[in-house]
Amino acid sequence: MALHPSSSFVKSALQILLITLFSCIPLAAYAQQNNPAQTQACEALEEIRNLTITSASIRANSRSSDSYCYVRGIISPAIHFHAQLPLPRNWNGRFLQWGDGGKDGDLDFADHRVAEGYAVTNSNMGHDNGVEPGASFGFNNRQAEIDFGYRAVHLTVMAGKVLVNKFYNKAPEYSYFEGCSQGGRQGLMEAQRFPNDFDGIVAGAPAFAYQALNASGTWNLQRMFRDDLAGNLAVDTDGNGSFDSLKLIDILHEQVLQKCDANDGIRDGVLGSPLSCDFKPASDLADLMCPAGNSSDQCFTSAQLQTVQDFYQGPRDDNGVQIYPGKMLGSEMRWAGFYVPSEANNNGPSKLIGVAGDHMNYLFYEEDPGVTIPNVRDYNYQAKTEGPFPEFHWIDYDINDFTNGSGDLMMSITDATDPDLSQFLKDRGGKLIVYHGLIDTLIVAESTQNYYNDMVDATFSGSMAAAKENARLFLAPGMAHCAGGNGPNTWDKLTPLVNWVENGTAPDTVIATHSSNGVVDNERPLCAVPQQARYIGPSDSADNPANWIAENFRCE
């Protein structure tokens, strides 16, 4: 990468700094923090034309001893953004838009990327979650929905590049996007709508089918709560009215593992390929059914079996049209935190409700049906649908509204489901890395795999080999939503993309690790789809964790 125009100055400044560093470290730190030229250049960004900048000042980095130039600005009507600009001698020449999570509504820092030299921007997506929490920003506010859907990210990137040009006196050599979940949706949205913004995009666990996944979240809660919680997978063992045991989920998960854990070559509690596991609840749980009229945390009632089947099946409308994939086999333990009311979840949908929350009130219908009910945990509450401020209860959401056109307008704003990435991948030659954890229960990896396959068809005439020149998908066995899970779930998401874009080194695998107490105890390569990692290590000790290392797997 070429150094920027003032590189000779920077080099000599660096030499002086290094000499100072070796002679007197406190003095070096003092000189670095108080370089008047840098402070002046940073503060001058407040005066930049054609952007509304509200502040620009030198700020400390939590992940580095190097301070940086911190800029905040506003884009009409309500987008707030910030830029974290490394001082010129620390800049690696790259621009990075840092992705958001959830419904966002605030400014997110990426201090670790700034420490690596990236000039980073992020926005509040056009609303303030302190004033309008959750999805409420979308209440009768189309502009806020458009900003959330796609406008805030794009305009923040535009503003960020203007700031980079001004501060460093040159354009970024390369521009990247990195994000997961909401950020994954943003990455795919950018690839579809604004193909010239980035050279490379990494999109993790993308919430790209945004309306479908929220409809699915609501539907799953409805299945769990129906018939006065008859099919709840938590059990009230002492009959005191409080669901205290989650044992049935353990039992279900164990049954799935017994059937398919070893299919990838090792019994590590991780399914390498859950979609090819042939677990069938009705037959595989047949020996674990309760006698009629009984229930306990050791056996399944027919209502509980129905819930399990519904979760794996996923929502369909009354005509049998699949709205969203069902939960992946192996993800059972993650259901507890999001869908299963128990004492562990404050015995109600307080935490569960975050899955779909107030989405249907404010972000699904063209005209919002009503505000949230006074207590969203109260599933028996009758929403007041009349009067000046009608209410809408998540339990009254009709999954048929997904396919009858009621959500089409909002889908056109929030969904990043267009499989044609020709402009980004072919015309621009951009690179795309998508990853998704296979036990992610919030956003189901199968939907991402379906999208990737649709993209191969629409963009590369069905040629996987051609598609892999520009876009690769990595599915992570045993990885939960963006992080966590009992399988290997940790790797540097951005560096493989940078190596691909700048050096042409396409990632065939990324090495993912799982750690307990800071020690790696499970490792495997994640293979670019359609390949999968298969254990090829010592066959007589395949279940010894010492053998669960990347070298003992082959992509095939």
* Interaction site with Ca ion (CB under 5 A): 100, 104, 108, 122, 138, 236, 238, 240, 242, 244, 261, 264, 266, 268, 270, 362, 368
CB nearer to Ca ion: pick between 272 and 430: 272
CB nearer to Ca ion: pick between 139 and 450: 139
CB nearer to Ca ion: pick between 22 and 389: 389
CB nearer to Ca ion: pick between 161 and 316: 161
C-alpha angle with apex 508: 506 to 509, nearest 5 degrees?
A: 125
How many whole angstroms separate alpha carbon 60 and alpha carbon 81? Answer: 18
Q: How far is the CB of 535 from Ca ion (least distance, A)?
A: 8
CB nearer to Ca ion: pick between 71 and 467: 71
CB nearer to Ca ion: pick between 257 and 395: 257
CB nearer to Ca ion: pick between 120 and 213: 120
Contact 159, 75 (CB under 8 A): yes
Contact 200, 425 (CB under 8 A): no
Element (H, E) at 179: strand 174-180
Q: How far is the CB of 263 from Ca ion (least distance, A)?
A: 7
Q: How far is the CB of 44 from Ca ion (least distance, A)?
A: 26
In sequence order, what are the residues at sequence separation of 6 or more whose Cβ sits closer than 8 angstroms to the Cβ of residue 18?
Answer: none
Would you call the peptide bond into 77 cis, given omega within 30 degrees of 0 as the criterion? Answer: yes
In angstroms, what CA-CA distances link 104 with 181, 298, 424? 11, 41, 26
Counting every residue written for the chain, the total comes to 556
Q: How far is the CB of 368 from Ca ion (least distance, A)?
A: 4
Q: What are phi and psi of 121, to 5 degrees?
A: -130, 160
How many whole angstroms separate alpha carbon 397 and alpha carbon 383? Answer: 12
Q: How far is the CB of 320 from Ca ion (least distance, A)?
A: 29
Token couple for 553:
């797997």
Q: How far is the CB of 125 from Ca ion (least distance, A)?
A: 6
Q: How far is the CB of 511 from Ca ion (least distance, A)?
A: 17
In angstroms, what CA-CA distances link 302 with 224, 249, 252, 311? 13, 15, 14, 14
